[in-house]
Amino acid sequence: MAKALIVYGTRYGATANTSEVIADTLRQVGYEVKIADAKKEKVQSINEFDLIIVGSGIQMGKWTSEPEDFIKKHQKELAIKKLALFVSCGGANPLSEGEQKNKELDNAKQKYLEDKATELKVTPIALGFFGGCYDFNKMSWFFKKTLSSVKPKLESAGYKETKTGLYDLRDLHAIRDWTREVAKTVI
């Protein structure tokens, strides 16, 4: 049985939940899966894993530091492993339309995944670019104030609260499809 390790960093929980969706999908196609919240658990060895998936939420244009630290720590081993990277972020759901929307998507994917892989000196087999969640219930006062103008834009773009104060912009089908494609690289 192939073994996968998912290491993630999250601020408000969207990336943790996305990691669970990825793990469930991998299990459905025959993987044994370990999930590690990089803030709470320091993975000592990756030798036993056939596939490593590292994910981060994005806030203020940056990855969380813990997944980056994991990659830096295991850089030599990751060079010979199947590695996939993903991010959960609002940049995957730009609120503009048409050509501007496509440009924003391309720029965000470039910055958060392709440039990050280059910066961290890794060569991933796949890059997952997924929407995130705006959870106004968990945000600090500063972020609530900063992002208050986003709420009406989300609603005018067709996004609705999934519960009071929470806008989930993820496409779970796309996450599962991406995961199944990544899984095929090993088994």
**Residue % of the chain over a pLDDT of 90:** 64
Secondary structure in 3-state letters for the chain: CCEEEEEEECCCCHHHHHHHHHHHHHHHCCCEEEEEECCCCCCCCCCCCCEEEEEEEEECCEECHHHHHHHHHCHHHHCCCEEEEEEECHHHCCCCCHHHHHHHHHHHHHHHHHHHHHHHCCCCCEEEEECCEEECCCCCHHHHHHCCCHHHHHHHCCCCCCECCEEECCCHHHHHHHHHHHHCCCC
Q: Where are the domains of the chain?
A: 3-132+171-183, 134-168
Q: How far apart are CA 131 and CA 171, in angstroms?
A: 7
Third-level CATH fold of 3-132+171-183: Rossmann fold (3.40.50)
- CB contact at 8 A, 83 and 54: yes
- pLDDT one-digit tens code per residue, 144-172: 888 788 888 888 888 888 889 888 889 99
- Check whether 91 has a pLDDT greater than 80: no
pLDDT at 141: 87
**Pairwise pLDDT comparison (13 vs 41), residue with the higher score:** 41
- Check whether 97 has a pLDDT greater than 80: no
- Check whether 93 has a pLDDT greater than 80: no
